Structure 1
Amino acid sequence: MWRRILNPLVVSTVRRTWSSRGLYTMQLKTKEFQSLFSEGLNGIAEIFEKHQFELRIAGGAVRDLLSGKRPEDVDFATTATPEEMKVMFQNAGIRMINNKGEKHGTITARIHNENFEVTTLRVDVQTDGRHAEVEFTTDWQKDAERRDLTINSMFLGLDGTLYDFFQGYEDLKSRKVRFVGSPEQRIQEDYLRILRYFRFYGRVSVHAGEHDPTTLQAIRENAQGLAAISGERIWVELKKMVVGHHAAHLIELMYDLGLPQYIGLPAEGDVEEMKRVWQNVKDHSPKPMTVLSALFCCSEDVEKMDLRLKVSREEKNLGLFLVKHRRDLHKSPDDPDSLKPYTDFIIDSREVDAQSKVCELLKYQGEHKLLAEMSRWSIPRFPVSGHDLRKMGITSGKEIGTILQNLRDVWKKSRYQMAKDELLNNVNRS
């Protein structure tokens, strides 16, 4: 039996059935699915089969496989409790790591240099909009009921059988994003699901604006619940959403629904500027802050966002840079095809990430031709140092600093072409 499971055969037809409980099943046999069966997965699977516990792929990995993608991360669900898993793994000599998830039912086992995160089926006993108290179950449908979206509520058996209780596969095929059951109930269990809805809408839906009115009403009425969600959790969802499909539409919708004040965005954000900038950047892999900075009117807005979301120093500095320079650092009207204003800024700033910031600025400004040139440009090295001047007999530190700055200006005017000897000749003539 197990040999058949470990070597699934690709079939040209898909078998679909409905069970008496409304369970929709089908048989998946794709090369992406087969590629998951490493030595490690085979070893884990054999242990669960030996002890007669079910093991299935869960959540996002199922969604990816059904979309023809090989998932980067694969999570598993099981009927075994954490204690039962620990006994199985210990008896098999398998090391367990990262026990922080154990109280929520998750055990991480390491076998053949691979980590496998396996979670016991659960039901929510009590929720407060941020966290849930759970009990373990062996009922796959009850576990599916507690998940956020239908497209994330499916399970995939290791023989390729899809277990779909809420028509998630049909929603995936028709590119719909729906909550499992009542949108209001799902949101009130964890208010972060509001942002997860937007993120997955941008990831799955073909067209902007095809939202279920009931879902939008539930989001509007529960928006204030986001105030109690940690900034770090919000930022994880928000920064994925703003670089996904339909980002401009989704951000504008978030403003219409009254979300910004609860998630660190300015209440009076410049939505029209954001929509304009999105058209500039959407095909050029923008960083999340490049899109969001269009909403900010001043550096104070960036500081307030950082206070709420606790973004990284690099992200905060990019936001401050874009707000400060989006108007004053631009191509020269006398030479609109020249990168010179931008390259001079990079040379003068002497910051290691200055070129990266300028690239984001060019995306923001819609300067796609200059962006391509900047991406190919290598920062030249200023060829003169204080040591060169001291060899010429100049010993005053202040004088050396002044001369170096003057030579740097001459070098910039030459488009960074003048060599050391040429530059030092300027010193000799002064």
Structure 2
Amino acid sequence: MRISGDWLDNPGTQAVLGMLTGAGHHALAVGGCVRNSLLGVPVTDVDIATSALPETVSNLAENAGLRAVPTGIAHGTVTIVAHGEGFEVTTFRHDEESFGRHARVSFGASLEQDAARRDFTMNALYAQADGTIVDPLGGLPDLHARRLRFVGDPDARIREDYLRILRFFRFHAQYGDPQQGLDPDALAACAEHSAMLETLSAERITAELKKLLAAEDPAPAVASMAQTGVLLHVLPGAQPQALPLLVHLEEGKPGSFIRRLAVLTESVESLRLSKAEARDFGKVRDAFSSMDSPAALGWKLGQRLATDALLGRAALLETPPAPDWARQVMRGAQADFPLKPADLMPMLMGPSLGLALSRAQTHWLAHDLVPGKAELLALLGLA
């Protein structure tokens, strides 16, 4: 079986593979690029596995006029820059001893040994420079069936890196068949080790959760996380019930991370969000409990966050938004409040000016942004 694609044919990929195979070493594309190509999903980066030792890879690159960067030399990884692109080239290896995320590795392993240390069977697929697939662990049937399985013993794979628990649910959301359900042995291992997620950094958990919630429909995977106790350890207090309805209301359009996160939980203290993300999350959560109209939310929050607030509130209340909600949000986002401070001066100054503007604004928002300048001045007794 062969695959093809721009990622495989591009000069950078071929230059790195050719540099290694031309010197008598094995070199194959591996992992996500092969998996995605077989699934017809865009390929974002190309990783290469080789029998050549890291020092040899670096020397060959230098002789070929390519730049070698020792980005993970202790684990056998050298980044080769070819034709303006970076390619992670990693020597075949196997674990001698594992310490959670870290391991002491040995080089000189066979392709089969290299494949055996990977996380999931669908990620243990290789491709030669001409696109010929090499499948040392029988991962192709799993990939074609959209069946996510750990390589070998799930318990052993998870002990090597507890983040693989979250990766299991994320990969299922992205590539699995929700009709098949999740592998029971993998679920049991995830449940058994779920408490160990609390030993991981907030940065790693947040990054994985973002990828999970970016899936077209993460709801089945998140529901399984709740059932196994995994969700409790990454988002304490999270409730997944509203997520399926939110995904339905999104109508196949990409769902924002903040929106989906906001319907899952009231608190993000366990995560590491940027200041902007934390601010947006707070605004959306506050809007869930408000009675503001779509237009008022559009004016207060802008189109993006108002959309998050409207769809999230509808999912939590199990009530669809008004048919023209999107148009109303846009109307609000483009609206200008009719009064300016200069309109009230010199009749009002100082604190009284601020109070008057606040009163007029509250009236304007409560009446769907309809009252004009004259009506608002009359309300304040200044007409």
Give TM-score scaled by structure 2 length.
0.85
Change in CA separation of 1:218 and 1:379 when aligned onto 2, cut-off 3 Å: same
CA contact (8 A) 1:149 1:178 kept: yes
Match for residue 184 of structure 2? 213
SS of equivalent residue, structure 2 residue 130: coil
For residue 105 of structure 1, what is the amino acid of its counterpart? G
Match of 1:200 among 135, 152, 171: 171
Q: Aligned pair 1:74/2:22, yes or no?
A: no
Aligned equivalents of 1:290 and 1:247: distance in 2? 13
Match of 1:342 among 273, 294, 311: 294
Q: CA deviation at 1:153?
A: 0.5
Q: CA deviation at 1:59?
A: 0.4
Change in CA separation of 1:394 and 1:111 when aligned onto 2, cut-off 3 Å: farther
Aligned equivalents of 1:324 and 1:403: distance in 2? 24
Match of 2:291 among 329, 352, 356: 329
Match for residue 14 of structure 2? 42
Match of 1:358 among 303, 306, 324: 306
CA contact (8 A) 1:243 1:282 kept: no
Match of 2:321 among 353, 363, 367: 367
CA contact (8 A) 2:178 2:220 kept: no
Q: CA deviation at 1:185?
A: 1.2
CA contact (8 A) 2:217 2:247 kept: no
> How many residue pairs get matched?
375
**Cα distance per residue 1:325-370 (max 9 Å; x no partner):** 323335xxxxxxxxxx2332453x4xxx543222112112142734
Q: Aligned pair 1:62/2:10, yes or no?
A: no
Match of 1:379 among 310, 331, 334: 334
Match for residue 337 of structure 1? none
Match of 1:270 among 233, 239, 243: 239
SS of equivalent residue, structure 1 residue 309: coil
Identity %: 29
Change in CA separation of 1:388 and 1:243 when aligned onto 2, cut-off 3 Å: same
For residue 283 of structure 1, what is the amino acid of its counterpart? G
Q: Aligned pair 1:294/2:263, yes or no?
A: yes
Q: CA deviation at 1:422?
A: 9.1
CA contact (8 A) 1:130 1:229 kept: no
Match for residue 17 of structure 1? none
For residue 91 of structure 1, what is the amino acid of its counterpart? N
Match for residue 152 of structure 1? 123
CA contact (8 A) 2:206 2:271 kept: yes
Q: CA deviation at 1:74?
A: 1.3
**After the TM superposition, which of the residue ranges 320-329 and 62-71 deviates more from structure 2?**
320-329
Q: CA deviation at 1:36?
A: 3.3
Cα RMSD of the aligned pairs, angstroms, is 3.1
CA contact (8 A) 2:173 2:218 kept: yes
Aligned equivalents of 1:279 and 1:163: distance in 2? 39
Aligned equivalents of 2:160 and 2:142: distance in 1? 22
Match for residue 175 of structure 1? 146
For residue 316 of structure 1, what is the amino acid of its counterpart? A
CA contact (8 A) 1:286 1:363 kept: no
CA contact (8 A) 2:294 2:325 kept: no
Q: CA deviation at 1:155?
A: 0.6
Change in CA separation of 1:411 and 1:223 when aligned onto 2, cut-off 3 Å: closer
Aligned equivalents of 1:395 and 1:96: distance in 2? 69
**Cα distance per residue 1:373-400 (max 9 Å; x no partner):** 256444223465445666xx56834454
Q: CA deviation at 1:180?
A: 0.9
CA contact (8 A) 1:362 1:370 kept: no
CA contact (8 A) 1:130 1:228 kept: no
Task: Flag the structure with larger Rg.
Answer: 1
Aligned equivalents of 1:410 and 1:201: distance in 2? 49
Give TM-score scaled by structure 1 length.
0.76
Match of 2:271 among 265, 289, 309: 309
CA contact (8 A) 1:180 1:186 kept: yes
Change in CA separation of 1:414 and 1:186 when aligned onto 2, cut-off 3 Å: closer
Q: How does 1:109-148 map to 2 (within 5 A)?
A: 109-148=80-119
CA contact (8 A) 1:208 1:246 kept: no
Aligned equivalents of 1:58 and 1:171: distance in 2? 16
SS of equivalent residue, structure 2 residue 8: coil
**Cα distance per residue 1:160-219 (max 9 Å; x no partner):** 111101211111111111111111111111111111111111222233452332222222
SS of equivalent residue, structure 1 residue 176: coil
For residue 262 of structure 2, what is the amino acid of its counterpart? S
CA contact (8 A) 1:329 1:342 kept: no
Q: CA deviation at 1:262?
A: 2.2
Match for residue 27 of structure 1? 2
SS of equivalent residue, structure 1 residue 100: strand
SS of equivalent residue, structure 2 residue 86: strand
Change in CA separation of 1:86 and 1:320 when aligned onto 2, cut-off 3 Å: same
SS of equivalent residue, structure 2 residue 95: strand
SS of equivalent residue, structure 2 residue 296: helix
CA contact (8 A) 1:110 1:116 kept: yes
Q: CA deviation at 1:61?
A: 0.5
